[in-house]
Structures are given as C-alpha cells and as structure tokens.
Structure 1
C-alpha cells in the first residue's frame, strides 16, 4: 500500500492527486493507494480517499505503507523518517494556489540533500522518482533532542 498524505492546510492540493492518478493509469503504480486528503476535494476510482483521521490511525497507516508520498509539511515528512520509511515529498507551491509561500520547497530540498527522502517537483518526472524509490535507502533519522538538551544543561551548569 502507498500512503499519500496531504496534511491539514486549508488550500487544495489536487495537482498531486491528478499526477498520481495518471501514474496509476500508466501502470507505474500497481498497488493500493490510500489518500489522506484533508481539505482537498478530489474523486478518483483508483484511490481510496478520506479527509482526516486520528494521529494514532495515521501512525498505523504509516507503519503499514510500503512508502509514503506526502506534501512538504515537516510533521508529515518526519513521521515517515522516524519510522525508517521511504518518503517522496512534494512541496505545495504558491504558483498553483496550494500554499501562501514556497517554504515547503526549501524543506523538501534540505531533507533530500541529507539523503533522508526523495522529492518530486515539476519539471521533474514523477515516474522517474517512483522508479528511484524502489532502490532508495534513506539515511536513518537521528533526533537532535539529546544534543540540544545536553548543550542547555552544560550552559545552565556552567552559569
């Protein structure tokens, strides 16, 4: 199963669902596609679509998914990274009316540069990224929380 996550942002992101629908029709996606669509209203006979669910249910879907295709939201990306999942992130872009600015493009490029995820954005080919995901081995996610806490503790103890 492929899990597609559009998050909770109020602007629609049907551009991604149209591209995934096309990849299903072309035969580049052959497995079940489950979509958390949020505020995006889209109909497809090729995908199972729901609006919202609980955090626990989303975490369960992430665990069950072969890989994740998500918008460029940090929470949606890092949930997959923390589980060691293969993630393709797709930034919502202002030019399509999908977000208020292009910060998601910066986020996905940074995670891609560190080897944690793959990303897709036009004019790249989504079919090529789908081929790459098969052999992609994401860099293991390491939280910086312990380091930050240690630095704060050193600062307090040294004061």
Structure 2
C-alpha cells in the first residue's frame, strides 16, 4: 500500500493529487493507495481511498502499513518520516502554485536532494521512486556532507544553524 499525505496545511496541494490521479489512471501505480488530502479541492484521485483528515492513531497505523509514504516536504514531516524505518518520497509545496506561503519547501527539497533524499519534482519521479524505493536517513549523512549542507544554508539565508551542526566539527 502507498500512503499519500499532504498534512493539515491550509493550502491545497492539488498538483500532488493530480499526479497521483494520473498514475492511477494510467496504471503506473497498481497497488492500493490511501490519500489524506487536507485542503486539496480540485482532483481527488479516483481509485484511491481518500480522507480529508485522519486522526493521529489512524495516521500512525497507515504509515506502519504502507510500503512507501509520499508526503509534502515540510520539516516536521521530514523528521517524522526519517525517524521511521520506512521508505518515503517528498514532494515540495510551492508558492508559485499557490501551495504554500513561500518557497521554503522547494529550498529544503533542493538541499535534501543533494544528500540523496528522494524528492519528486514530477510524476515521473514518483514512478521511479515507487518502483525502486530507497531507504535513506538524514542521520546517515556523512560529516563532510553535513558541513557542506550547513554552509550552503548559511550562505543562502545569511544566518547560522547551530542545531544542524551539533556533533559536526570541521
């Protein structure tokens, strides 16, 4: 089973819902799909079990049952999924498409893609990661990569991120 969650964000994530719809219609996804669609309102994937919001207990059960989880690229979602022993794919929400207040999920996704976290920028990326799920953990990032990521974030945002460099020394 594939579990797709967009969180409880006030902004719709219709783009992701459309991608899942297309993949189900074209049978590029041929297994059960459960979708938590939040504020999405355009297309809800037919052929999937859909829920607007899911209680925490059911949410945890669905994550445990899933073969792979597809989720938005929020920091909290990343930390939750990374703490589980489950392959996941992140899809960044974008302000450009009216999916968020800013582009921070896109910026986070760009940084995460540099350390091989599965990020889907298109329906094709979703298919590729669904067919060959990768179990990754941001905790497995090498010291050199962590330093490079911290330096990149610092130069991009002009501030330091001491919580990212705990235990990392140059």
| TM-score, length of structure 1 as denominator length | 0.78
4+ residue stretches of structure 1 with deviation over 6 A? none
Distance 1:95 1:126, change over 3 A: same
Cα separation, 2, equivalents of 1:32 and 1:77: 23
Deviation track 1:90-147 (CA, whole Å, cap 9, x = no partner) reads 11111111111110012223333223x31112xxx4224422343343233539x9x9
SS state of the match for residue 69, structure 1? Answer: strand
Q: Which runs of 5+ in 2 are unaligned?
A: 141-162
Partner of 1:92: 93
Residue 68 of structure 1: CA displacement? 0.8
Q: Which residue of 1 aligns with 2:132?
A: 135
RMSD: 2.4
CA contact (8 A) 2:89 2:129 kept: no
Q: Deviations over 1:68-105 (max 9, x none)?
A: 11111122222222112111111111111111111001
Gaps of 5+ in 1: 151-159
2:22 maps to 1:16: no
Q: How does 1:17-96 map to 2 (within 5 A)?
A: 17-41=17-41, 42-96=43-97
Task: Count residues in correspondence.
Answer: 144
Q: Report the TM-score when normalising by structure 2.
A: 0.74
